[in-house]
Amino acid sequence: MHYYIKSKYLALARMHGFTLHTIEGDIVNLSKLLEGETITIQGQQYQVTKDGFKLVQKT
């Protein structure tokens, strides 16, 4: 079973320079991602948008 992180939590972490911690590892440097870039977390792909993040691929 896969769980995905809500996009609003990614956006908050990126905005405030926080890290996220999952069972698979730590996600750091979210604030360095540029709009349009993607990041894969726990098999889910998210794209950085001007408003935060958008889930683009679910497994």
pLDDT of residue 3: 65
Q: What is the pLDDT of residues 17-44, one digit of tens each?
A: 999 888 888 988 999 999 999 999 888 8
Task: Tell me if 2 is assigned to some domain.
Answer: no
Three-state helix/strand/coil letters over the chain: CCCCCCHHHHHHHHHHCCCEECCCCEECCHHHCCCCCEEEECCEEEEEECCEEEEEECC
Task: Tell me if 20 is assigned to some domain.
Answer: yes
pTM of the complete model beyond 0.75: yes
Domain that holds residue 48: 7-57
Residue with the bigger pLDDT between 31 and 6: it is 31
Q: How many domains does the chain have?
A: 1
Residue 1: pLDDT over 60? no
**Average pLDDT over every residue of 1-30:** 85
